[in-house]
Amino acid sequence: MKIKARQKASAARRALAEGATRIEPHARVALISQSAYFRSAHRGFESGHEVDDWLAAESEIDAAVARGELSPLGG
């Protein structure tokens, strides 16, 4: 994973921990990227599952948005 994506995901998690409920779109993508990475790592980085990992991670983050835990809008 690129360092910038990891830093954006960390910043988004810190903001959420501090009570923020809204994140920037690039932070959403960073959280999805981080989740997909950990899914792949859990499986031992077996190739051929990259799209499935991304879609599952995207679904996970978007579900959190739908529950009001995250918002893809800035502000």
Q: For 33-61, what is each residue's pLDDT tens digit?
A: 999 999 999 999 999 999 999 999 999 98
State the alpha helices, DSSP H only, in the chain.
3-17, 25-42, 50-66
CA atoms within 13 A on the CB side of 20: 16
Residues 56 and 40: beta-carbon distance below 8 Å: no
Q: Could you give the CA distance from residue 66 to residue 6 in angstroms, rounded to a whole number?
A: 23
Q: Fill in the DSSP letter of residue 73.
A: S
Place of tokens 């859990």: 42
Tell me, yes or no, if the pTM score tops 0.85.
no
| Residue 21 pLDDT greater than 60, yes or no | no
Looking at every residue in the chain, the average pLDDT score rounds to: 79
